[in-house]
Chain A
Amino acid sequence: MVMDVFAFMDSWRTPEEQIILDGWAEAISGLRSRPAHPHDRPSAEDVARVINTVRARGWLEFGLGLETGEQIVFEAIKVLHQRLEPVSAPLPEIWMAAQLMRAAGVADVESYLNSATPPVLGMDDLISPPEAGAVVRTGWIPNPGGLSIVIPLRTKDGSIEVWLSPEQDEAEEVSCPDPSQRVRRFYLNLRDGNATAVGRLDPKAFARMQSKGLLAQASAMVGQARALLTTTRDYLCLREQFGVPVGSFQALKHRCADMATSLHAANLVTAHAAAAVVGTDPADHIGDLAKSFAGSVAVRIASEAVQLHGGMGYTWENPIHFGLKRTMYLAATGRSVRDCEVRLGKWSREGDVSWGIL
């Protein structure tokens, strides 16, 4: 019964890209986190174990796209999320931290990735960089300990300073819906000598980095939605009521068809955005386009996936809720889906809308 009915979504990849992504899927296949209890959160050791495994298999630097180009990194983030039981280490946030450092002119970013305390970047801080100051209160950062924090700061002249701070004691737990990560807000003391300014970006380069962050989230949401919908489709084939599989009822079929259709469209939007965001002079709205469209689709699919599992969807035992909660986390961090829509609408009202097709 298990079959990948969404394989057609990958057919635009080149054979070379598919080989790389198959290797990536293989490298992370055994890395699963399944909190046994609702109050469990991954520890610093859990996260370090995952990072060390990924590093040992040669994939940690992959997120910089040095050999493969950056475009495929966003596909890899999809692949990373094509599962219900998530990987507990915040790999997209680590990769985006490394990309931000490199964009800010930091040399040898690989050495930071390979250090004992790799960098992590909170998506909230990327989208709304705090003002420079003595103590900076960060947004949500998935860091249970052991990761150093990359933080962009808005300066008076409009440029962005990038700081690197060791994890600091002063932090508050946040109500993160996703139990596969431990997310906190930190109070970073930038004057204590441990934190250092490592680089600087002009507003244009920073805008591109923000687009990449939003696209990373959109790609994660597409991967997650694909996992949720695949599982739901399989469940509808197996679960019988009134003597037939419930998937034979048209009311459920049509909802599945609508979800699959919107997922296909969201996959194309993120693929298009990935090509645009790594290209020369990407438009500022690319990240908003990706997250607004894929985000709406993914939240809807996650919500429907639980509903279509009936009572089983309401249990801890069935892993569908892990995918739901990861989707909630992705929607809750960075820029909200509606805010992306507002910015996109403002752009399309003010700018010269191009479609760039045929």
Chain B
Amino acid sequence: MRFELTPEHEKFRDELRKWLEEHVDRDWPRRYGHDDGAMARYQQEWDRKLYAAGYAGLSWPREYGGRAADVVQQAIFAAECARAHAPEGLARTGIRLVGPALMRYGTKEQQRHLQPILRGEEIWCQGFSEPEAGSDLAGLKTRAVRRGDRWVINGRKIWTSHGQFADWMILLARTGSPESRAAGISVFLLDMRTPGIEISPIRTLKGSMHFNEITFSDVEIGPESLLGEQDKGWEIVTSVLRDERGPGSLLVRSSDIQRIFGNIASHARQVGSGPAHDQALGALYGRAFASSLVTIELLRQEHAGTAPPGLASMSRLFVTTTWRTLVDDALLHWGGGLFDRYGATHIDDHLESWRYTLGGGTSEIQRNIVAAALLQLPSSRRGRG
């Protein structure tokens, strides 16, 4: 492909690779996997190590303590961390979503959060999805009502990653009329210690407590908690959501896919194969290989500024469904052998696949975006904003 690393990029990669080799404890998933609290502490410790080494907030501008990394360096960081099987840390929501929003829309006072976020001292969670507003985010119902110069919040949020460990939340609430959809949403910065917040962890199909449901009952916050203008929150949301669909996260998925394929191929090598198994393995290899190319192409086009609207969704759709195809087909073709050989890892790899075809916009939403933005097929929505 027409994509090559510059000597600077190679230097960055080699230094990072060396640092990761020295600092990642390969045993961490086994050591902390059984205890969500211990895992959270370990993840936060990792955030601080990254900060100390200068790898926190890579993409942030230098004036805020970042390294102004370009999209390629960010992608290298994601890929190398996945390769080294490094923890993801708890600072990610703060660094990837909250930080950029504060830099662009925050007051000087609100920007005081930036340094604690960067240092991994302040954990943030994201209060976007609701039980009745998942894919249809603009239909959210959690309300923020003015009382004097204060805001009073009532409602429920769901799928809040690490909400039980978070110090702060970036919250979307309706400040316009119930029918206002995207034109009546505001963004608030919410201290999670404020009275009236109830946190209920959700046990996922994997068995761990990654997500939470969070209920707000007359939660009162001050005027300084509004980020940007009232009712103009949708613009902030769309600018931060775009980040979630970028090439960096897909590089991590591609790296996982290569590791999972490697396990399947190694198992096939051990047990021997007939033509039917080889055919399945060949088809999976082709798809896994294509996933890497699709990811690199998104990276290349974003770097070059040529990526059309919808290409990120198309790439995400292909890569995340590849993961599912891989584990589904492996189960059909190799049965229990893979579980014998890789045990909990393989079960985990299988169950993890839905996290990415559901989270960050389901595959069905990605298809809608591809159809509308890229293929420019006619809209099916009538009378809705």
What residues on A are CB-neighbors of B364 within 8 Å? 254
Contact partner of A261 (CB less than 8 A), chosen from B280, B286, B314, is B314
Contact partner of B1 (CB less than 8 A), chosen from A5, A257, A275, A348, is A275
Counting contact residues on chain A (CB < 8 A from B), the size range is 35 or more
Known: A272-B293, A358-B76. A292 touches B258 (CB 8 A): no
**In the bound complex, do residue B251 and residue A256 qualify as a contact, i.e. CB atoms below 8 Å apart?**
no
Q: Is B6's CB within 8 Å of the partner chain A?
A: no
CA distance A135 to B85 in the complex (A): 61
Q: Is B292's CB within 8 Å of the partner chain A?
A: yes
**In the bound complex, do residue A265 and residue B273 qualify as a contact, i.e. CB atoms below 8 Å apart?**
no
What residues on A are CB-neighbors of B375 within 8 Å? 5, 233, 253, 256-257, 260
**In the bound complex, do residue A353 and residue B368 qualify as a contact, i.e. CB atoms below 8 Å apart?**
no
Which chain B residues (351-385) contact chain A, with CB distance < 8 Å? 364, 366-368, 370-372, 374-380
Which chain A residues (224-281) contact chain B, with CB distance < 8 Å? 233, 236-237, 244-245, 247-250, 253-254, 256-258, 260-262, 264-266, 268-269, 271-272, 275
What residues on B are CB-neighbors of A261 within 8 Å? 314, 317-318, 370
Q: Which of B57-65, B185-193, B296-304 contacts A (4 or more CB under 8 A)?
A: B296-304
What residues on A are CB-neighbors of B90 within 8 Å? none
Which chain B residues (31-76) contact chain A, with CB distance < 8 Å? 75-76
**In the bound complex, do residue B283 and residue A292 qualify as a contact, i.e. CB atoms below 8 Å apart?**
yes
Q: Is A111's CB within 8 Å of the partner chain B?
A: no
Q: Is A54's CB within 8 Å of the partner chain B?
A: no
What residues on B are CB-neighbors of A346 within 8 Å? 273, 278, 282
Q: Which of B132-140, B221-229, B234-242, B261-269 contacts A (4 or more CB under 8 A)?
A: B261-269
CA distance A236 to B379 in the complex (A): 12
Known: A12-B300, A237-B378. A342 touches B76 (CB 8 A): no
Contact partner of B265 (CB less than 8 A), chosen from A342, A343, A353, is A353
Contact partner of B278 (CB less than 8 A), chosen from A3, A293, A349, is A349
CA distance A265 to B278 in the complex (A): 22
Q: Is A344's CB within 8 Å of the partner chain B?
A: yes
Min CB distance B11 to A, Å, is 14
CA distance A167 to B258 in the complex (A): 49
Contact partner of B314 (CB less than 8 A), chosen from A12, A264, A293, is A264
CA distance A3 to B308 in the complex (A): 14
What residues on B are CB-neighbors of A245 within 8 Å? 378
Min CB distance B274 to A, Å, is 9
Which chain A residues (279-309) contact chain B, with CB distance < 8 Å? 288-289, 292-293, 296
Nearest neighbor of B316 in chain A, beta-carbon distance? A261
Contact partner of B279 (CB less than 8 A), chosen from A12, A256, A345, is A345
**In the bound complex, do residue A345 and residue B285 qualify as a contact, i.e. CB atoms below 8 Å apart?**
yes
**In the bound complex, do residue A344 and residue B301 qualify as a contact, i.e. CB atoms below 8 Å apart?**
no
Q: Is A157's CB within 8 Å of the partner chain B?
A: no
Q: Is B96's CB within 8 Å of the partner chain A?
A: no
CA distance A345 to B277 in the complex (A): 8
**In the bound complex, do residue B376 and residue A8 qualify as a contact, i.e. CB atoms below 8 Å apart?**
no
Q: Is A175's CB within 8 Å of the partner chain B?
A: no
CA distance A296 to B300 in the complex (A): 26
Min CB distance A256 to B, Å, is 6
What residues on A are CB-neighbors of B268 within 8 Å? 345, 349
What residues on B are CB-neighbors of A248 within 8 Å? 377-380
Nearest neighbor of B278 in chain A, beta-carbon distance? A345
The DSSP consensus for interface residues of chain B is helix
Min CB distance A134 to B, Å, is 34
Min CB distance B140 to A, Å, is 22
Q: Is B306's CB within 8 Å of the partner chain A?
A: yes
Q: Is B311's CB within 8 Å of the partner chain A?
A: yes
Q: Is B13's CB within 8 Å of the partner chain A?
A: yes
**In the bound complex, do residue B2 and residue A12 qualify as a contact, i.e. CB atoms below 8 Å apart?**
yes
Which chain A residues (304-358) contact chain B, with CB distance < 8 Å? 338, 340-350, 353, 355, 357-358
Q: Is A115's CB within 8 Å of the partner chain B?
A: no
What residues on B are CB-neighbors of A14 within 8 Å? 2
**In the bound complex, do residue A8 and residue B308 qualify as a contact, i.e. CB atoms below 8 Å apart?**
yes
Q: Is B294's CB within 8 Å of the partner chain A?
A: yes
What residues on B are CB-neighbors of A12 within 8 Å? 1-2, 297, 300
Q: Is B281's CB within 8 Å of the partner chain A?
A: yes
What residues on B are CB-neighbors of A3 within 8 Å? 376
CA distance A292 to B283 in the complex (A): 7
Please name 17 further chain A to chain B contacts, defined as beta carbons within 8 Å, in addition to the given A256-B371, A357-B254, sorted by A numbering: A8-B306, A8-B308, A11-B306, A253-B377, A256-B377, A260-B375, A264-B314, A268-B290, A269-B286, A341-B278, A341-B282, A345-B273, A345-B278, A348-B285, A349-B278, A358-B75, A358-B76
Q: Closest 7 A-B residue pairs measured CB to CB?
A: A345-B282, A344-B282, A345-B278, A345-B281, A341-B282, A253-B371, A293-B286
Instruction: Give 22 pairs: A residue, B residue, CB < 8 Å, sorted on A.
Output: A11-B301, A12-B2, A247-B377, A248-B378, A249-B380, A250-B380, A254-B368, A257-B317, A257-B366, A261-B317, A261-B370, A264-B314, A264-B318, A288-B282, A292-B283, A296-B286, A343-B282, A345-B281, A349-B269, A349-B273, A357-B296, A358-B76
What residues make up the interface of B, taking CB atoms closer than 8 Å to A? 1-2, 5, 13, 75-76, 79, 251, 254, 258, 261-262, 265, 268-269, 273, 275, 277-287, 289-294, 296-297, 300-301, 304, 306-308, 311, 314, 317-318, 364, 366-368, 370-372, 374-380
